[in-house]
Structure 1
């Protein structure tokens, strides 16, 4: 798949570049990443380079994962990253600490959901996070995912094991308003 950009009222989702390496390395060194993310730990500048040149580039080239940098303008600084594992519609995302709490991620996730349903023949999108990651859970809830419980996660932890995860699903034709039943 050729990478494509997305736009919302306030955001541009485009490709992470080597100019983002220092921001990625700094954001991913936040202790919250050790607890809730599958990124390498401790996270280094070399990990950020490998992420951009390998993981992101290969994901697009193989049409298995679409990954975007979240920015407030085309050439703006990196605010965070969002992606979707295309074959099964699993979304994942993170923001740098200073950008959290501003409604950025629900806006970005809405754009990714729309783009995925428009381009991929899947009937549902999936979300999961490590149990306790309330910020990620609230984003999924705001975007209309239905909570499906706590269970072993599909995305493997750093050690290769399945994490205890909160999970959710959003159908192609589902109403995007928040659903009851979230912890």
Structure 2
């Protein structure tokens, strides 16, 4: 699959480049990445280089994973990353700390979901995050996912151990309205970056 650009009212989703390496490295050393993400830890600049020059283009080349940099529309600075694993339709996303709370991730994720349903025959997309990752849960809820439970996640932890996860799905035939049945946010009060990301 050749990479393609997505645009929304406020955002441009395109390919991470070498110019984004320092921003990725800066964002991914935040302690919440250790707790809630599957990114390498401790995170080093060479991890960001490998993400931009290996992980992302390799995923596009073999059509296993589509990954985009999130940017303000028409501007260059990297705000975060969003992606989807083609097998099973698992989505993931994160934002740099200073860009959270602006509705960016639901907007970006909706564009990715639209692209998945337009360009593949997948009948659903899936989401999961480490139990307690309230920020990721809110993004999934706002994007129209249905909560499917607290259970062992499909994606293992860094060390291969299972992750106790919140999970959800959005069917091709679903509307995008917020659904009932999500855990109360009071379960975990911390604001954290989001779910598994296309792994930097």
Which string of whole-angstrom CA distances, capped at 9 and with x for unpartnered residues, describes residues 86-133 of structure 1?
Answer: 121100000000000000000000000000000010101000000010
Moved over 3 A (4+): none
Partner of 1:167: 167
- What are the equivalent positions in structure 2 for 1:97-108 lying under 5 Å apart? 97-108=97-108
Partner of 1:144: 144
Q: What's the CA shift for 1:75?
A: 4.2
SS in 1 for 2:78: coil
Structure 2 unpaired stretches of 5+: 184-200
What CA distance in whole angstroms lies between the structure 2 residues aligned with 1:117 and 1:73? Answer: 23
- What are the equivalent positions in structure 2 for 1:1-183 lying under 5 Å apart? 1-183=1-183
TM-score (normalised: structure 2):
0.90
TM-score (normalised: structure 1):
0.98
Which string of whole-angstrom CA distances, capped at 9 and with x for unpartnered residues, describes residues 4-51 of structure 1?
Answer: 000000000000001000000000001110000000001010000001
RMSD: 0.7
What CA distance in whole angstroms lies between the structure 2 residues aligned with 1:157 and 1:57? Answer: 23
Contact 1:14 1:74 in 2 (8 A): no
Aligned length: 183
What CA distance in whole angstroms lies between the structure 1 residues aligned with 2:94 and 2:20? Answer: 14
What CA distance in whole angstroms lies between the structure 2 residues aligned with 1:155 and 1:21? Answer: 25
SS in 2 for 1:137: helix
Contact 2:9 2:73 in 1 (8 A): no
